[in-house]
Homo-oligomer: A and B are copies of this chain.
Amino acid sequence: MQLDPEMFDPVCPSGALPFRIGDKWTAMIVLCLENGPARFTELRVPLKRISPKVLTETLKAMERDGLVTRTAFDENPPRVEYELTALGRSLLALIGAVREWSSAHLADLLAHRERSPLSHRPGESRLAAP
């Protein structure tokens, strides 16, 4: 599994989306695993700015919920692979639906926000990007 380091647009306004799949990273991880298992460090590549702590937490939560499986190989150096379960795979359709909504309506939402005289504080950006 080779993951494209550029698979996520760094200026993608997904942070402004009125949706979240799980926490901040879950949807992206599901997408990363769509075409097969990946290793911890491989996931860190397209997820450029994720810290190991947060990646660990997110993967553990996903494993706990039955979205991914974790397989540790007894080798040296160690190797661990994460793979989508059927349940995790079932999220793909929904993520697709969110993406379709976004391509159809997100620009509209963003334009409206831009023009709005309403204060952006407090709360500033709700789900805004960093």
Q: How far is the CA of A116 from the CA of B120 in the complex (A)?
A: 41
Q: How many copies does the complex hold?
A: 2
A23 within 8 A of B: yes
Q: Name A85-121 residues within 8 Å CB distance of B.
A: 87, 90-91, 93-94, 97-98, 101, 104-105, 108-109, 112-113, 116, 118-120
Q: Which of A5-13, A32-40, A41-49, A55-63 contacts B (4 or more CB under 8 A)?
A: A55-63
Q: How far is the CA of A97 from the CA of B61 in the complex (A)?
A: 23
Of the candidates B21, B101, B126, which one forms a contact with A61 in the assembled complex, judged by CB atoms under 8 Å apart?
B126
Which B residues lie within 8 Å of A109 (CB)? 65-67, 87
Q: Tell whether, in the assembled complex, residue A21 and residue B23 are in contact, meaning their CB atoms are under 8 Å apart.
A: no
A31 within 8 A of B: no
Q: How far is the CA of A21 from the CA of B102 in the complex (A)?
A: 13
Q: List 10 A-B contacts (CB under 8 A).
A: A18-B22, A18-B67, A19-B20, A57-B122, A60-B119, A63-B118, A65-B113, A66-B116, A94-B97, A94-B98
Chain A residues with CB under 8 Å of chain B are 18-23, 26, 57, 60-61, 63-67, 87, 90-91, 93-94, 97-98, 101, 104-105, 108-109, 112-113, 116, 118-120, 122-123, 126-127
